[in-house]
Chain A
Amino acid sequence: MVPALVVRNLSKVYDNGFQALKGIDLTVEQGDFFALLGPNGAGKSTTLGILSGLVQKTSGNAEVMGFDVNTQTFSARRYLGVVPQEFNFNQFEKVGDIVITQAGYFGLTAAQAAPNAEKLLRALDLWEKRDQQARMLSGGMKRRLMIARALVHDPKVLILDEPSAGVDIELRRSMWTFMQQLNRAGTTIILTTHYLEEAEQLCRNIAIINHGEIVQATSTRKLLSQLSTETFILDLNSTVAADFSLAGFECRKVADDCIEVVVEKGQSINQIFTLLTQQGIEVRSMRTKSNRLEELFVDLVRGANA
């Protein structure tokens, strides 16, 4: 089975001399849920732009489903659906027309596209808005409209450039569910995001890009296993003394009934509970101090910048 995406030695130098990509290599297998992470200006959108035909590469190769995006452009594009970062539809067109028109660009007549367009608009809660001009939609609806538009021709590979930017938590989670269903149905999904929690929850594989270079490209699990420590916050049922400590753990009192415990690789969380129970303290709730991937991301990007 050909990979959904292969990028080899891909470079991009913009007209102003800025080198956005410095010969990156990437492979995304079919059926994967893949995240391309990186700080602003790292080269994420440039990479996706080259794949989707919106940015001209300087050198290297990129293939979608085995088709070169430059020499076999039309074949490659047939397999691709693109959700860009910025709204890029005619604000004065009706919602339904935008989706049906996009299907037309992929060779589907309005009659052929109508059932899939309806299915997508219903799934994304836009069916009732189909006769409204796009400019009347809220920001979240506009983002969902771009997802419906990108999927109307049933692409094998879906590219999402920061799909949840500016979207509220509830909507973000419903979008995650939708994308997971889509991925389970066989669509390869490649996304960039600033919400690392999103990447950690959704993606099986992750590449981290910084200054136009791939810093890491591996599975989410392997990436997280690189974490040497993890900090937990524990809410307690009783108060603790100012000099409170847990043998073998770095520990800090946050509030009278709240402590912060650093767990190093190889240490067990059970041990914390045992020690607390021995002191007659019960744990009401527990959470990680920060997103695990976020910690790792910051370490990796900082390391690459050093």
Chain B
Amino acid sequence: MSPVRIQWVAFLTIVTKEIRRFTRIWQQTLLPPAITMTLYFVIFGQLIGSRIGQMGGVDYISFIVPGLIMMSVITNAYANVSSSFFSNKFQRSIEELMVAPVHPGTILLGYVCGGIARGVGVGIIVTLLSLYFTDLQIHNLLVIVLVILLSATLFSLGGFINAIFASKFDDISIVPTFVITPLTYLGGVFYSINLLSEFWQSVSLFNPILYMVNTFRYGILGVSDVNIGFSLAMLVFFIVVLAAYSLWLLRRGVGMRQ
């Protein structure tokens, strides 16, 4: 059997296993974001949104929907990889992969694709739910697809690194709670940064999630606070950096090999 075929089948096996995992526990993985986002649509979109009026030149609910979809994608991509990989480490089932002829790149790609699958899956569920509350248009499909895939990839890699260093379950909730959630809320999901003072606008520009939310919003509504080309380039740059670091950690067996 050729080494390439071994890696290909191993990759498909990891992805299948990951998808099987998050669909098996759909009550913990797919249902909660659907309920949370529906509440956001009802409370912020309809009840409060109707009194706010317009934001960024569109209805408030139309403004927040892209941000909420993106928020679902990145948090779920991150959570899938961090919880699955750490759980495998915790149960030592990661050893199944470590004793097999699977390249570290294959392992990384498999887990990241699993994260992308859940992120995109949840994104689709949230998008379908949002259609009940507002009409969505597509301004630029290529940008939509690109930014969703790149963001899910980046956060899957982040989840992977988090899981490698985590030694207990608490460790995989620290980053989402203290880093991702605040950055998401301050990343222009609910407001345009044009509402902020010049100083806070400048500070906001250091928030990477602002670029993802705005690029996705551009793909849907055609409005954005940031430069789209710059956003996509930055996403690619950080993906390359985190992927290289993840591979280095895997090769050294950090957190796994004694």
Q: Is the CB of A82 within 8 A of B9?
A: no
B96 in the interface (beta carbon within 8 A): yes
Q: Which residues of A contact B55 (CB under 8 A)?
A: none
Q: Is the CB of A74 within 8 A of B101?
A: yes
Q: Is the CB of A53 within 8 A of B88?
A: no
Q: Is the CB of A77 within 8 A of B100?
A: yes
Q: Please name the residue on chain A nearest to B100 by beta carbon.
A: A105
Q: Is the CB of A90 within 8 A of B93?
A: yes
Q: Which residues of B contact A56 (CB under 8 A)?
A: 253, 257-258
**In the docked arrangement, what's the CA distance between A267 and B257, Å?**
52
Q: How many residue pairs between the two chains, A and B, have CB atoms under 8 Å in the bound complex?
A: 84
Which among A49, A105, A107, A109 is the interface contact of B96 at CB below 8 angstroms?
A: A105
A27 in the interface (beta carbon within 8 A): no
Q: Is the CB of B96 within 8 A of A88?
A: yes
Whole-angstrom distance from the CB of B88 to the nearest CB of chain A? 7
A185 in the interface (beta carbon within 8 A): no
Whole-angstrom distance from the CB of A256 to the nearest CB of chain B? 54
Chain B residues bordering chain A, tally (CB within 8 A): 31
At the interface, is chain A mostly helix, strand, loop or mixed? loop
Whole-angstrom distance from the CB of A162 to the nearest CB of chain B? 15
Interface string of A69-92 (1 = CB under 8 A from B): 000011101101010101111111
Q: Is the CB of A53 within 8 A of B98?
A: yes
B128 in the interface (beta carbon within 8 A): no
A249 in the interface (beta carbon within 8 A): no
B10 in the interface (beta carbon within 8 A): yes
**In the docked arrangement, what's the CA distance between A87 and B14, Å?**
20
Q: Is the CB of B9 within 8 A of A89?
A: no
Q: Is the CB of A107 within 8 A of B253?
A: no
Q: Given A88-B96, A104-B10, A107-B1, A53 and B91 touching (CB < 8 A)?
A: no
Q: Please name the residue on chain A nearest to B7 by beta carbon.
A: A107
Q: Please name the residue on chain B nearest to A51 by beta carbon.
A: B99
Whole-angstrom distance from the CB of B12 to the nearest CB of chain A? 7
Q: Is the CB of A88 within 8 A of B95?
A: yes
Q: Is the CB of B9 within 8 A of A104?
A: yes
Interface string of B92-114 (1 = CB under 8 A from A): 11011111111100000000000
Q: Is the CB of B10 within 8 A of A105?
A: yes
Q: Which residues of A contact B258 (CB under 8 A)?
A: 14, 49, 54-56
Which among B6, B13, B16, B99 is the interface contact of A53 at CB below 8 angstroms?
A: B99
Q: Given A88-B91, A88-B92, A90-B91, A52 and B9 touching (CB < 8 A)?
A: no
Whole-angstrom distance from the CB of B8 to the nearest CB of chain A? 8
Q: Which residues of B contact A93 (CB under 8 A)?
A: 93
Q: Is the CB of A54 within 8 A of B98?
A: yes
A180 in the interface (beta carbon within 8 A): no
**In the docked arrangement, what's the CA distance between A107 and B100, Å?**
9
Q: Which residues of B contact A92 (CB under 8 A)?
A: 24
Q: Please name the residue on chain B nearest to A159 by beta carbon.
A: B99
Q: Please name the residue on chain B nearest to A73 by beta carbon.
A: B101
Q: Please name the residue on chain A nearest to B1 by beta carbon.
A: A107
Which among B1, B91, B100 is the interface contact of A102 at CB below 8 angstroms?
A: B100
A195 in the interface (beta carbon within 8 A): no
**In the docked arrangement, what's the CA distance between A30 and B24, Å?**
43
Q: Is the CB of A74 within 8 A of B3?
A: yes
**In the docked arrangement, what's the CA distance between A89 and B94, Å?**
8
Q: Please name the residue on chain A nearest to B13 by beta carbon.
A: A104
**In the docked arrangement, what's the CA distance between A102 and B3, Å?**
16
Q: Is the CB of A54 within 8 A of B257?
A: yes
Q: Is the CB of A105 within 8 A of B13?
A: yes
B5 in the interface (beta carbon within 8 A): yes
A44 in the interface (beta carbon within 8 A): no
Identify which of residues 231-252 in chain A touch chain B, using a CB-to-CB cut-off of 8 Å: none
B168 in the interface (beta carbon within 8 A): no
Show 12 residue pairs from A and B whose CB-CB distance is below 8 angstroms, ordered by the A residue: A53-B98, A53-B99, A75-B101, A80-B99, A82-B99, A88-B91, A90-B93, A101-B13, A104-B12, A105-B10, A105-B97, A107-B10
Seen from chain A, the residues whose Cβ lies within 8 Å of a Cβ on chain B are 14, 49, 52-56, 73-75, 77-78, 80, 82, 84, 86-93, 97, 101-102, 104-109, 149
* 8 nearest CB pairs, A to B: A104-B13, A107-B6, A105-B100, A88-B92, A74-B101, A77-B101, A90-B93, A82-B99
